[in-house]
A and B are shown apart, each in its own frame.
Chain A
């Protein structure tokens, strides 16, 4: 028995000895690993192209691309951090940035950004969003791309009905009702009632109410009566101007309904650009979320995408070089053009493709408009995602089914958020 144990131990030692991976060779070449946080066939070729450009410009650095399925990326990072096996560079969005910073996994990038070519070249609103996400106000990712909530609509349906894209919520609701013909299986709007619903609902509520801050004197403004009014008005549309199946709609079903041709308007974000245009071609266009009775345009920004350098990396300089390259005007322009999102690098503003990409131009216009007020959601709260998803999504379904009022629903969520915010302030 003892012999066997010794043999096993020896084998284990031998195995672990073989595995010590050498990133830096004696010839000065290094290999860095890059994790794409939204890996998949759609984005892999874009990154592969950028990597080959980077390697051509930096012959001593090799980049190994790993695409992580977006649904599991947070768990994958957590496991990697716990096991000490993090990549050198990784795509990270502000939605789980605070979590990674909390585990002290990332290297702050302020000095690197300010000491290099990216100084003053990044959209201030995005930099601010990133800064606010970290408990210490440092930049742990270099922002590369942003997304915005918009409403995709069928230009052909609007033309046939002689309607124009609605600018206010009142117009929006009448338009949705007008475009509905339940007998012909045509609906004016589709509500996201399943996974991811509440995040969208919050952006709608603030767009409607014009409330311009998420917390006032430490209390969540989410249950503002004007926000509740919007929730009730949307719930009122359910089944009247939207398909009945909406109560369980996640992104996939929602988009299937819209691209399948039975729905006139869908609230999502720029990210679905390739899906909707692939299916509907030029019969689809984007409009900003309508404005409420206050007349103010308030936007709850989407998570900002960026690149992080991991603290554990043995090649932080090379890693930063790659992150900086990905955010340079040329790469940033190339990437965002392909995925149809808002580029973070302000030098891209003048690129020719932005003039042609009406939806990006529209979104940039909203972000640049001095009257637009950004109301960042407190994604830095560790409980934020469990409060808005696990706790609230089933409750919202009750609202849609008429079992709960909008005010009750928001009160409940606001209380939890206020409490979480207080805890967070106390710990700071």
Chain B
């Protein structure tokens, strides 16, 4: 270290001034299009091919082996929607998904605010308990929940499913949400309160608007979690008109016969809403996740 410092600087020639050509090379280097695009395209293909496969199976007539299905046939969609009852399953899934979304979002905002803004006895224990509840697999809770729900008359009802799913999703959403709220500076709220707002009004006027990305992140994950919920939906429903989409999908898989066309069409029906949700919210999602997950 010292040696290099004491050495007279004239010994090493000064770095050549960047010539025009060299500057261009430097500017181009990070941008060589193929270095970014080829891996990305490969990755995209890797992700999309299974979906393409599902789509192909769904829209080509049974027995066909075309790779590019044409003409497109909607017979499988007709089968799953009308004959197998995906119309009802879809409705049930939507109701359940929206129910879970609403309750998880509202409750996690309320709880998250309390966790972020107030100090109370047992706060750490509470957080720890919430976190630990995530270690219990749903399958273990199945029979106790079944017995409780039977006593409450909540079997065979979407209400019961929503309650169970909200209970399972709430801890993580709560922790996530409190992380978001902690990141919103208290000073803004205090300023609003100095100006005469009540705490509640300050929350609605100052905190809630800034929470938009968090609401989207928590809400969409709640929706998708509910949308994919299989175990409880299967076990708590003993009437076919209370099945949800995942149960309906497994229903198309017989022990001896599987109608791949119908299965794929059902898969498309189940996947489209999720894809749409992500397409709409992805901008908020990235923003929201990085804000909450890292700093929370």
Residues of chain A having any CB pair with chain B under 8 Å: 12, 15-20, 33, 35, 38-43, 64-67, 69-72, 75-76, 79-80, 82-85, 87, 252, 256, 260, 269, 271-272, 274-275, 278-279, 339
**Cβ-closest chain B residue relative to A13:** B152
- Taking CB atoms and an 8 Å cut-off, the chain B residues in 48-88 that contact chain A are 62-63, 65, 79, 83-84
Contact present for B234 and A69 (CB under 8 Å): yes
Number of interface residues of B (CB under 8 A): 34
B150 on the A face (CB < 8 A) = yes
| Dominant secondary structure at the A interface | helix
B252 on the A face (CB < 8 A) = yes
Contact present for B257 and A275 (CB under 8 Å): yes
Contact present for A65 and B240 (CB under 8 Å): yes
Given contacts A35-B238, A41-B254, 13 further A-B contacts (CB under 8 A): A65-B240, A67-B251, A69-B250, A70-B253, A70-B254, A79-B143, A83-B147, A83-B150, A260-B65, A271-B255, A271-B256, A275-B257, A278-B62
Given contacts A15-B154, A16-B153, contact A274 B235 (CB under 8 A): no
Contact present for A272 and B256 (CB under 8 Å): yes
Contact present for A84 and B150 (CB under 8 Å): yes
Q: Give the complex CA separation of A283 and B199 in angstroms.
A: 78
Contact present for B258 and A38 (CB under 8 Å): no
Contact present for B146 and A83 (CB under 8 Å): yes
Residues of chain B having any CB pair with chain A under 8 Å: 62-63, 65, 79, 83-84, 142-143, 146-147, 150-155, 234-235, 238-240, 247, 250-260, 262
Residues of A within 8 A of B257 (CB): 40, 42, 271-272, 274-275
A to B contact number (C-beta, < 8 Å):
98
**Cβ-closest chain B residue relative to A270:** B256
Residues of B within 8 A of A79 (CB): 142-143, 146, 235
Contact present for B240 and A67 (CB under 8 Å): yes
Q: Give the complex CA separation of A252 and B57 in angstroms.
A: 15
Residues of B within 8 A of A66 (CB): 238-240
Contact present for A41 and B152 (CB under 8 Å): no
8 residue pairs A–B, Cβ–Cβ below 8 Å: A16-B151, A16-B153, A19-B152, A41-B84, A41-B251, A66-B240, A69-B253, A76-B235
Q: Give the complex CA separation of A64 and B253 in angstroms.
A: 21
Report which of A19, A84, A85 forms a contact with B238, defined as CB distance below 8 A: A85
Contact present for A69 and B251 (CB under 8 Å): yes
Residues of B within 8 A of A278 (CB): 62-63
Report which of B63, B152, B252 forms a contact with A15, defined as CB distance below 8 A: B152
| Cβ of A113 to closest chain B Cβ, rounded Å | 25
Q: Give the complex CA separation of A159 and B153 in angstroms.
A: 63
| Cβ of B72 to closest chain A Cβ, rounded Å | 21
Contact present for B152 and A12 (CB under 8 Å): yes
Contact present for B146 and A252 (CB under 8 Å): no
Contact present for A38 and B254 (CB under 8 Å): yes
Contact present for B147 and A72 (CB under 8 Å): no
Q: 6 closest A-B pairs (Cβ-Cβ)?
A: A19-B153, A271-B256, A70-B255, A40-B254, A83-B146, A69-B250
Residues of B within 8 A of A40 (CB): 251-254, 257
Contact present for B234 and A38 (CB under 8 Å): no
